[in-house]
Amino acid sequence: MKFTKTLLATTALTVAAGAVAAQEMTIVSWGGAYSKSQLKAYHEPYSAKTGVTIINDDSSAEAVAKLRAMNEAGNVTWDVVDVVAADAMRLCDEGLAMEIDADTQLAPAPDGTPASEDFGDLLVSDCFIPQIVYSTTFGYRTDLVGDTPPTSVCAVFDLENYPGKRSLEKRPINNMEWALLCDGVAKEDVYDVLETPEGQDRALAKLDTIKDSVVWWSAGADTPQLLADGEVIMGSTYNGRLFSVIEEQKQPVAMLWDAQVFDLDGWIIPAGLSEERKQRALDYIYFATDTQRLADQAKYISYGPARASSAPLVGKHEELGIDMAPHMPTDPNNAKNTFLYNYEFWADYRDDIDAKFQAWLAK
């Protein structure tokens, strides 16, 4: 009898311990200020509401490769992963991410608009739940560009009026589009031109005119640092990075929103999770991507919420107390001339054009 009791007690304890351990989930993101904004806007309220402990893992930069390796090993340890839309597409294609039905698995807008309409075109992949709209755009040193600050993206290619170094990302994406735009290709034709070998050569030829004045970056923090050090007079990076250089560090830098390229960042749930973990991940996603939560994130970082219904709710920066709406890439003043990144195109041509681009760089 005593033995049975002990056994029962032990079993109960084990089950309880198991339940406690199960109340944990690992969320993967980019680290830095971005992860912090998610911690404040999503993780903390979610933990308070459900008691689930959230473990942060800053591995988004290698998420695609790591997820594939985990999947092959049959041991996926991540529950929710933050990736850019292009990576989400790749993961979806490889069968590494779970498909999501927006209308049944995501929260509707407060007025009842189904999620699929609220997110609209931003649902670029069946596996992807958009979170923010960010843009890759240029910042310039206000003190180093002379009396007429640049107003057009083509200033990047104008060495005569804006001599000095500029920093560009060490990959073809975005650079090829800007080169074609400034070489006289109409916005709507850019990808048609870029699809042909002649068009690719044309873009590279345009980039060739400034090649000697370019510092190539590979981490998002590079351009802000180069601008702050005066190493470059202008450079491309993510708009949130420029926001912190301008507003938080008060450097003499200004934004050149012209021809900013919109891109998306959001969540995926890895394929092959156990039913229990899958349900928890879905529950988190339902909570973290509702209208209020997406608007809350904009208090901490200058990226636009991906839901149409969140835009009116965007308030002031939590620490600086400045209005965040004018710093959003989607703000009408900033979005006078924008460029939408073509995911399908780059999914197809990325490797091919990248090989050409790297060969051109090495020339």
Partner 1 sequence: MTDQTAGQDMIAADGMPLKKSLAKSLQREKMRALMLIAPLLIFVLITFIFPIGSMLFRSVENSIVQDTLPKTVVALQDWDELSGELPDEAVFTAFVEDFIIAVENKEHTRIGSRLNYEVSGMSSLFRKSARKVKKWDPVQDAPFRDKLIDVDKDWGDPATWSIIKTHSVKYTNGYFLNAIDMQRTAEGAQAQPEDKQILIKLFIRTVKMSLIITGMCILLGYPVAWILANLPNRSANMLMILVLLPFWTSLLVRTSAWKVMLQNQGVINDTLVWLGLVSNDARLEIINNQFGTITAMTHILLPFMILPMYSVMQTIPPSYLRAAKSLGATNWTAFWRVYFPQSIPGIGAGSILVFILAIGYYITPEIVGGTDGVFISNRIAYHISSSLNWGLAAALGAILLAVVLVLYWAYDKIVGIDNVKLG
Binding site for partner 1 (CB under 8 A): 61-62, 64-65, 68, 90, 92-95, 165, 170, 201, 215-216, 218, 229-231, 344, 347-356, 358-362
Q: Based on CB atoms, which residue is closest to partner 1, 87 or 296?
A: 87
CB of 216 to partner 1, least distance (A): 6
Q: Report the alpha-carbon distance of residue 199 to residue 189 in Å, rounded.
A: 11
Q: Based on CB atoms, which residue is closest to partner 1, 180 or 301?
A: 180
CB of 254 to partner 1, least distance (A): 20
Q: Based on CB atoms, which residue is closest to partner 1, 89 or 328?
A: 89
CB environment 13-50: b (16+ within 10 A), e (fewer): eeeeeeeeeeeebbbbbbeeebbebbbbbbbeebeeee
Q: Is the dihedral of CA 138, 130, 87, 281 positive or negative?
A: positive
Q: Based on CB atoms, which residue is closest to partner 1, 215 or 335?
A: 215
Q: Are 80 and 46 in contact (CB under 8 A)?
A: no
Q: Which helix (H) or strand (E) holds 143?
A: none
Q: Report the alpha-carbon distance of residue 206 to residue 312 in Å, rounded.
A: 40
Q: In 3D, which of 257, 302, 218 has the Cα closest to residue 33? A: 302
Q: Based on CB atoms, which residue is closest to partner 1, 64 or 298?
A: 64
CB of 344 to partner 1, least distance (A): 5
Q: Are 100 and 269 in contact (CB under 8 A)?
A: yes
CB of 115 to partner 1, least distance (A): 21
Q: Report the alpha-carbon distance of residue 299 to residue 311 in Å, rounded.
A: 12
CB of 352 to partner 1, least distance (A): 4
Q: Report the alpha-carbon distance of residue 23 to residue 163 in Å, rounded.
A: 57
CB of 203 to partner 1, least distance (A): 12
Q: Based on CB atoms, which residue is closest to partner 1, 229 or 275?
A: 229
CB of 215 to partner 1, least distance (A): 6
Q: Are 206 and 183 in contact (CB under 8 A)?
A: yes
Q: Based on CB atoms, which residue is closest to partner 1, 287 or 345?
A: 345
Q: Based on CB atoms, which residue is closest to partner 1, 36 or 350?
A: 350
Task: Kindly give, in sequence order, each residue whose CB lies less than 8 Å from that of residue 208, ignoring residues fewer than 6 positions away.
Answer: 360
Q: Report the alpha-carbon distance of residue 17 to residue 40 in Å, rounded.
A: 28
Q: Based on CB atoms, which residue is closest to partner 1, 167 or 334?
A: 167
Q: Tokens 């590279």: give the residue.
A: 204
CB of 78 to partner 1, least distance (A): 16
CB of 358 to partner 1, least distance (A): 5
What Å distances lie between residue 27 and 31, 77, 78, 83, 285, CA to CA? 11, 10, 6, 11, 11
